[in-house]
């Protein structure tokens, strides 16, 4: 029976079978040190020429980097490293030899690595990042279940936009124009009226021609809707969610964070501290005062401004009450002096990782929603089904979107979000 490397601690003194790949090897005379990985972890297997037959020793010698192998041997504690285990090889089988593996254990340029992404995934760093991604994804859904949310899968092919069609990928749907989704929000608002707290979780698409380290054209997003809850209540929930995800990763991904050389002190601080809440105009004034940013009260807060905010605070910052002109149609408007604003919020992460969550209250008054849509030139007939949600039992509610890759990038401490997804799709990359 196969044993997984992660379970070797409870197998000391026992004979086990490990099936995996040869990550690296070195030899010292009649001793070969084989670094084996099986997806669950890494282990050193020690083979002695005196303990295996001649054929096995020959197979060990000819096994190339990333060859698939099967090893049988006894589990022993490492003689010099507490809590580390190794395998004394008794039987070695070369399943499939790998020669001239393109990605050697040395530095390569990013383009080369992305061209070989299908192989780059096997490196320790990429293994660690993808396991952090898995922990975030699983932990997020577990948390939402505990908080009485029901998952509802929104369609990827959509006839209307929830924000701006200029950022959508348009396709031909049997002669009718359609778009790849940028958010499932409008659809889960419909499900919300049936199931209460709901969320979706899946791939979304943005046709932005952006080349920054924080953007992808295909990424995974979780949208959540909270009926009968206002912006303040939603922010309480988001803060609780971010702290829970961070705490889970700190516990469950200790080895992965060590491989990534992630300084965990900022993560621990986020887990244990209250988040900051500021209004959009307060942030603009602060950025102008601290950095002479030259921003006006109607300006958006983009990546450069988000990085400046991160220099001022060591906890995430909720930015609320944005100018209506730069936000989506479905947000409730209010007057702040002579400026029209909306009840919306962005959560800006620490360490320069930018926006982690964006959300808002939803306008639930039919006449007010129609008024905004007409002002913006929307075709009401395209949204009749959405307007029905306001005609039949509308309720105050709020909701938000959470980007998986940005969260994974921050938790992992990696520079570019493209490493936070198995196969990134960016402006200049469609393959592999």
Instruction: Decide if pLDDT at 380 tops 70.
Output: yes
Confidence of residue 141 (pLDDT cuts 50, 70, 90): very high
Instruction: Decide if pLDDT at 374 tops 70.
Output: yes
261 and 375 share one domain: yes
In 206-308, where do the E strands start and end?
218-227, 276-279
Task: Report, as an integer, the average pLDDT of 122-133.
Answer: 97
CA distance 47 to 29: 11
CA distance 385 to 79: 68
Q: What is the mean pLDDT of the chain?
A: 95
pLDDT of residue 164: 62
Domain end position, chosen among 32, 65, 96: 96
111 touches 103 (CB < 8 A): no
Burial of 270 (0-12, 13-18, 19+ CB in 10 A): buried
189 and 306 share one domain: yes
Whether 332 is covered by a domain: the verdict is yes
CA distance 321 to 344: 5
Confidence of residue 408 (pLDDT cuts 50, 70, 90): very high
Task: Count CB atoms within 10 A of the CB of residue 164.
Answer: 12
Whether 110 is covered by a domain: the verdict is no
Whether 109 is covered by a domain: the verdict is no
81 and 122 share one domain: no
225 and 301 share one domain: yes
Q: Is the dihedral of CA 218, 184, 235, 328 positive or negative?
A: positive
Residue range(s) defining the domain that contains residue 58: 5-96
> pLDDT tens across 214-232, in order?
889 999 999 999 999 999 9
Domain end position, chosen among 35, 67, 96: 96
Least confident stretch, 36-50, 98-112, 175-189, 305-319: 98-112
Question: What length does the chain have?
Answer: 432
299 and 264 share one domain: yes
DSSP 95-122: EE---S-SS-SS---HHHHHHTHHHHTT
Whether 111 is covered by a domain: the verdict is no
CA distance 343 to 341: 7
pLDDT of residue 165: 58
Confidence of residue 107 (pLDDT cuts 50, 70, 90): confident
Structure tokens that stand for 224 in this block: 């959540």
Higher pLDDT pick, 5 / 208: 5
DSSP state of 262: -
Structure tokens that stand for 238 in this block: 């988001």
Whether 432 is covered by a domain: the verdict is no
Model confidence pTM above 0.85 = yes
Angle at the Cα of 160 from the Cα atoms of 329 and 372, rounded to 5 degrees: 20
Instruction: Name beta bridge partners: 360.
Output: 344, 399
CA distance 190 to 405: 26
62 and 131 share one domain: no
CATH number at residue 155: 3.30.930.10
What percent of the chain is modeled with pLDDT above 90? 92
> pLDDT tens across 154-211, in order?
999 998 877 665 689 999 999 999 999 999 999 999 999 999 999 999 999 999 888 8
158 and 218 share one domain: yes
Task: Report, as an integer, the average pLDDT of 133-139.
Answer: 98
Q: How many structural domains compose the chain? A: 2
> pLDDT tens across 54-73, in order?
999 999 999 999 999 999 99
CA distance 229 to 399: 9
Confidence of residue 420 (pLDDT cuts 50, 70, 90): very high
Instruction: Specify the DSSP element, H or E, that contains 267.
Output: helix 265-272
DSSP state of 12: T
CATH number at residue 33: 2.40.50.140
CA distance 301 to 288: 12
> pLDDT tens across 260-301, in order?
999 999 999 999 999 999 999 999 999 999 999 999 999 999
CA distance 105 to 100: 12
316 and 197 share one domain: yes
Whether 65 is covered by a domain: the verdict is yes
Task: Report, as an integer, the average pLDDT of 46-55.
Answer: 94
pLDDT of residue 48: 95
287 and 359 share one domain: yes
Whether 430 is covered by a domain: the verdict is no
Task: Report, as an integer, the average pLDDT of 80-100.
Answer: 93
Confidence of residue 82 (pLDDT cuts 50, 70, 90): confident
């Amino acid at each position: 029976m196969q044993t997984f490397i992660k379970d070797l601690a409870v197998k000391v003194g026992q004979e086990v079978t490990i099936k995996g790949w040869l990550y690296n090897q070195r030899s010292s005379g009649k001793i070969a040190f084989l670094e084996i990985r099986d997806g669950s972890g890494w282990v050193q297997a020690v083979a002695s020429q005196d303990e295996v037959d001649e054929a096995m020793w020959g197979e060990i010698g000819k096994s190339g980097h990333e060859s698939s192998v099967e090893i049988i041997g006894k589990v022993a504690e490492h003689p010099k490293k507490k809590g580390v285990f190794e395998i004394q090889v008794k039987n070695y089988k070369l399943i499939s030899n790998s020669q001239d593996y393109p990605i050697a254990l040395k530095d390569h340029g990013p383009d080369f690595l992305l061209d070989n992404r299908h192989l780059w995934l096997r490196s320790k760093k990429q293994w660690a990042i993808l396991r952090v991604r898995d922990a975030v994804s699983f932990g997020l859904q577990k948390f939402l279940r505990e908080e009485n949310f029901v998952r509802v899968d929104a369609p990827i092919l959509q006839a209307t936009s929830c924000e701006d069609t200029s950022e959508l990928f348009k396709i031909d749907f049997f002669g009718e124009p359609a778009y790849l989704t940028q958010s499932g929000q409008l659809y889960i608002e419909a499900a919300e009226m049936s199931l209460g707290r709901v969320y979706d979780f899946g791939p979304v698409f943005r046709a932005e021609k952006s080349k920054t380290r924080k953007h992808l054209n295909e990424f995974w997003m979780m949208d959540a809707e909270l009926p009968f809850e206002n912006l303040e209540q939603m922010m309480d929930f988001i803060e609780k969610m971010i702290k829970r995800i961070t705490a889970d990763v700190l516990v469950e991904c200790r080895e992965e964070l060590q491989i990534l050389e992630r300084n965990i002190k900022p993560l621990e601080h986020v887990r244990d501290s209250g988040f900051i809440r500021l209004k959009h105009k307060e942030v603009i004034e602060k950025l102008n005062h601290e950095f002479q940013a030259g921003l006006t009260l109607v300006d958006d807060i983009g990546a450069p401004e988000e990085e400046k905010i991160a220099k001022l605070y060591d906890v995430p910052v909720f930015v609320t009450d944005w100018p209506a002109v730069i936000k989506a149609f479905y947000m409730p408007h209010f007057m702040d002096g002579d400026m029209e604003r909306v009840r919306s919020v962005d959560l800006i992460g620490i360490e320069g990782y930018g926006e982690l969550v964006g959300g808002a209250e939803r306008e639930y008054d039919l006449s007010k929603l129609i008024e905004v849509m007409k002002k913006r030139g929307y075709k009401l007939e395209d949204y009749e089904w959405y307007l029905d949600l306001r005609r039949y039992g509308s309720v105050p509610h709020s909701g938000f979107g959470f980007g998986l890759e940005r969260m994974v990038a921050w938790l992992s401490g990696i520079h570019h979000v493209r490493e936070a997804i198995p196969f990134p799709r960016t402006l200049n990359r469609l393959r592999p």
